[in-house]
Structure 1
Amino acid sequence: MHPSHTKVGIVGGGPSGLLLARLLHRSGVDCVVLENRDRAYVEQRQRAGILEQGTVDVLRECGAGARMGREGLVHDGIELRYDRRAHRLDFPALTGGRRVTVYAQTEVVKDLIALQLDAGAPLLFGAQVLDVTGADTERPVIRYTHQGREQTLTCDYVVGCDGFHGVTRHAVPETERRTYERAYPYSWLGVLADVPPSCDELIYAHSPRGFALFSMRTPTVSRLYLQVPNGTDPADWPDDRIWDELQARAALDTPWKLERGPLTAKAVLPMRSAVTEPMRYGRVLLAGDAAHIVPPTGAKGLNLAVADVTVLARALAQVHDTGSTELLDAYSDTCLRRVWRAEHFSYFMTTTLHTAADQSPFDTRLQLSQLDRIATSPHAAAELAENYTGLPLV
């Protein structure tokens, strides 16, 4: 049965839409989630895997932390490699105890879907949203198709969690929104490998050959990235070339061995930044990638989405409980302060660690100087650690 009206219509069944639904359900606020893909596809989408301390706390508090607690890998720091040297940042020491957890977005989504279905809250897969109208009215409408039939859902509020290319952004008139964008002159070649990680924590490697990142999904699966030119075809990178390049970019003056194994997935990820303002127009609100994109270097995409919907859930609960719109009226400004901080941090990490094709020796020396500053100054190291482990939600 298709509902005809709900308090909150959520477009998009990724982590932001599912988490918002979970938080609203616990606050007694009715909602419906519409996801255009099927469940199998949603549960296999490969995305981020680094969870800030605040993200971990929110997932635990809403009942989605049990499997994360068993299987997630808690990390107390990262390693910076540059100029054939290595420097480790101790996050708890620099931030008063904050850490990050490696737990793939695919697993977060699986956990949230299971909770949503167990609670009996409406979650429609294969529901393609055609448009959202009436943003400036008291009853915006979502028009969508499901199981071959067109349906409409009237809402008190509509939340767009459908990504940068989703339809919800277009419910805000062009005259009322502005998007700030930056494209980077390089991409990432990301691979999954069936081999235990060669490091206990993430390694961010600056090299004259380009950036490399050494991460993991589980104790037996490695997640690895190489900076490549825009437009790169993964087919041009056979497995041996990838392993050789990873080894070269992480080289140290002391011995270090990169464990090799079969690669199970390859994809090229473009690097870009974008912010759409405001994040609210009338009764339509944007969250996650629908409102902002960050390059993955700072590990902020999923965490920003969690912060958005946490703030939004509190605001919608206040409307439900008291009728006050104070928090809702402040939603866009509250989130954008954090968004722009994360944009700056992601930009800093990206431009400090990547080497552009036309980069001058002067530019390279500036990067090395900045990395030396982080390695030798507790203040600079604490600034990086504080941003990496996550700023307060408000």
Structure 2
Amino acid sequence: MVRAKAAYTTRFARRLFLESAGPYALQTAGTPRSGDVVLARVVEIGQHQRLEDSSGRRAALFVGDEILVAYGARYAPDQFEAEVPADLGPTRLVAAGGLAANVVSQHAEMLEATTLEPIGLVVDHAGVVNLRRCAPYSVAGAPTPRHPGRVPTIAVLGTSMNSGKTTTVGSIVRGLSRAGLTVAAGKVTGTGAGGDPGVFADSGASRVLDFTDFGHPSTYLLPHEEIAGLTRAIRDELLLGSPDVVVLEVADGLFQRETAQLVADPAFGSMVDAVVFAAGEALGAVAGLERLRSLGLPVMAVSGLLTASPLATEEARGHLPVPVWGPEQLAGPKAAALVPPVSALPARPESARIHAASSAEPVAV
């Protein structure tokens, strides 16, 4: 197992295997659960020809390779819809980050998913190794942060997969960091992959967490109570680093099941002080803003893929009551404009830095 190519989703399980002598064995029958770690053999290369490893490098896959991945469901309109199978029969690699599942549907432009033959679930003295058991954090164990005031939280939502949410988060983190603030960032839902957390870190986030740090290979089909608890736990863990601002990305679009339930939950609204909405086109931006405002969420700006087109940007600006900013603007002084709502929140030691950033002279972009 140590020589198998270990996927990003299984990085904490791999660390367990390296640090503990075991004994470990393989269970060749049974019903897998989301997060169960499986040793599998690559039978046929399809859509995913590479596996993102624990360091984030995309390792080439070859027929016959043994890989460590995790079972988990996937919701990706541009790629695959997939669910955890009922047995250990042949299955598919449905995400480069290391997700094994049976395909339910797929985008017309996708190749067939790479075929895997499960060799067995990894087991130790406590039973099947599940990512929740290996993860460094848990929802139940998340501490309650103690702050004299409230740390502002900016949520980034979007119209769909690939609408520009991650780029928007990175730009906001960059802009606020350049303004002198300490910014923590997290991704609360989605499919496990190292690319998005890497963007947050590269943009200057002081600390980065996502759902995989809490033992979830993906969040599709999780009950709403788990999604809500996971969202709060990620935010609470980020707050322990005493940031000035927290930025959270919520995956997929507003109509996706888990996202729709989360944004409609008053508890989510109570922890969010500003929303930036990423859209692919003007009509989606207008509809999304109306939906979020109907839920009482404070949308402060629109960004996303539409800002790559000057014409689409002008269309949106002509029908929106909030500014439309591209990545370059958010990475500059515009980001500080997302912070003013915090001025109405209880004072805290860091608040002086926030107000200073909001009123600072524009910095060169």
TM-score of the aligned structures, taking structure 2 as reference length: 0.27
Which structure is higher in helix share? 1
TM-score of the aligned structures, taking structure 1 as reference length: 0.25
Q: Which has the higher contact order (CA 8 A, sep 6+)?
A: 1
